[in-house]
Chain A
Amino acid sequence: MLLEVNDLHVSYGAIRALKGIFCQVGEGEIVALIGANGAGKTTTLRTISGLIRPQSGTITYKGQPITKMPPHQIVSLGICQVPEGRRVFTRMTVLENLEMGAYTRKDKANVKADIEKVFQRFPRLAERKSQLAGTLSGGEQQMLAMGRALMSRPTVLLMDEPSMGLAPMLVQEIFSIIKEINQAGTTILLVEQNAHMALSIANRAYVLETGEIVLSGPARDLANNPEVQKAYLGE
């Protein structure tokens, strides 16, 4: 397995956010992590990225433990995150945001070529490249956040609620882009409240409830599971 999370426990003070999470992401997969608000989805991603120190448990990447690594080292290993709420640098230009995404890279010429690739994939960003990112619409910001993460040439892309706050049309567009990115060879771990969309593109999925994995399996099976349908798909 490319990325493995074993018995991960995380607490915020007295609040236990994760109570022993296990999950695996294989090379080339799209794996979805679904669950209600406050189930611990974002905490899981932030812990993988090194922003949160777990109480116990391990995270391994290509067999190597990364549990105690600082975030910037985890990025240089090839794990990059598109954070919840996009979090583009609003007071920097679109181009500068993309440059920040390539911060760990030293191959300047290739970085330039990759910026062009991002602009090809997202032509609206090309038109706005010298504009401050704070002036972009929500959908454009989501594209920028994704383009920025791609600039690090990640092996694994962690995506936190890419559909949040976007119009349904845009959600469709964003998910088809996620699929494209995956088909181009990037492994994806996707966190979503929009379980329906997530299960439609994922290979496998985990259902998280109050800090524990309660269900897991192929996305198609979960989408047909009556409990999941009742709790997360509104059917």
Chain B
Amino acid sequence: MLSQQLLNGITLGATYALIALGYTMVYGIIQLINFAHGEIYMVGAFVGVLMVSVFQQGLLVSLVAAMLACMIMGVTIERIAYRPLRRSTRLAPLISAIGVSIFLQTLMTKIKGPQPVAFPPVINDALYKLGPVEISKVQIIILIVASLLMAGLHFIVKYVKIGKAMRAASEDYDTAALMGINVNRVISFTFAIGSALAAAGGVLVGIYFNSVSPFMGVLAGLKAFCAAVLGGIGSIPGAMLGGLFLGVAETLGVAGGFDLYKDAIAFTLLIIVLLFRPTGLLGRPIQRKV
């Protein structure tokens, strides 16, 4: 029973982690909470639905298409809604992000209507028994895709030139520029990667819960934001850990009889962790630049 709940929690947590990574990477580099990130995840889910239903594509093609579409969208949003505000007060891009978020929700409601849409079947709902634990094919796919994407991200950030530039720019923006790094390009790249991960999360969650709606990004976005802060905003391993932690806590909470409080669990946890560790689980103490 417990192991079953753990498995369900990890599956849910993996999707939170995929979304949380985008928040944390963008924050790491431009200190902006991208409030439109949940909507990128939502659009990703709808692109997935479109690919499967209209274009009759399989899971892999739909997933890649959603990721590519959201990459372009994320980069465009940064260019038109955040970059012109780079040198203004911290609050201005934040408000702009909220504006983008409302815009995308409203746009999608106009196009698809406010009702949730079922995700057309792409994979069968086969169940496998692993000892005492039952695992569905969807869960296996979520875990595999999420692990591959996170491993890929780790590889890029650790070994690829632009990934290293991302780390350099997130530590010290000006000095990165002094090294000849085109910081604007690095920021675009960060938005592209973060948005692609969110889109993958959107498609996977759409399949998992068999439901996609223009408002699905609101709560998922807030929870993933919690996960990112829980793990330590700006820290990539922190976002992964925070996502998994939140998914497991939420699932165990529901199994423990707190199902009415399901959505409150994330926020309660956030408050508790921040009371004791204001920088999050893997966050660094805040350094003031002189």
A residues bordering B, Cβ < 8 Å?
A: 49-51, 70-72, 75-76, 80-81, 83, 85, 87, 89-92, 96, 99-101, 103-104, 148, 152
Contacts and interface: CB of A to CB of B under 8 A. Distances in A.
Prevailing SS type, chain B contact patch: helix
A83 B176 CA distance: 11
B171 A100 contact: no
A75 B178 contact: yes
Interface string B16-46: 0000000000000000000000000000000
B177 A72 contact: yes
A148 B179 contact: yes
B115 interface: no
A89 B168 contact: yes
Query: Which among B165, B167, B178, B290 has the highest number of chain A CB atoms within 10 Å?
Result: B178
Given A51-B174, A83-B174, A83-B175, A72 B167 contact: no
A52 to B, nearest CB: 10
A28 B237 CA distance: 47
Contacts of B167: 89, 91-92, 96
Interface string B147-181: 00000000000000100110110011011111111
B185 to A, nearest CB: 9
Contact of B181 (A72, A80, A87, A92): A72
- Is the interface on chain B under 10, 10 to 19, 20 to 34, or 35 or more residues? 10 to 19
B168 A87 contact: no
A21 B197 CA distance: 49
A229 B50 CA distance: 77
B4 interface: no
Query: Which among A85, A91, A101, A148 has the highest number of chain B CB atoms within 10 Å?
Result: A91
Prevailing SS type, chain A contact patch: loop
B70 interface: no
B182 A72 contact: yes
B178 A103 contact: no
B183 interface: yes
Contacts of B177: 49-51, 70-72
Nearest to B184: A70
A80 B182 CA distance: 14
A130 B112 CA distance: 53
Given A83-B174, A100-B176, 10 more contacts: A49-B177, A49-B178, A71-B177, A71-B178, A76-B180, A89-B168, A92-B164, A99-B164, A101-B179, A152-B180
Contacts of A87: 172, 174-175
Given A72-B183, A87-B172, A92-B171, A51 B178 contact: yes
A101 B168 CA distance: 11
Contacts of A76: 180
Contacts of A85: 290
A87 B181 CA distance: 15
A136 to B, nearest CB: 15
A51 B176 CA distance: 11
A75 B167 CA distance: 19
Interface in B171-209: 171-172, 174-184
A100 B174 contact: no
Contacts of A152: 179-180
Query: Which among A72, A76, A87, A152 has the highest number of chain B CB atoms within 10 Å?
Result: A72
Interface in B97-124: none
Contacts of A72: 177, 180-183
A70 B168 CA distance: 18
B238 to A, nearest CB: 13
Contact of A100 (B165, B182, B290): B165
Nearest to B182: A72
Contact of B164 (A49, A51, A100, A104): A100
A83 B181 contact: no
A83 B180 contact: no
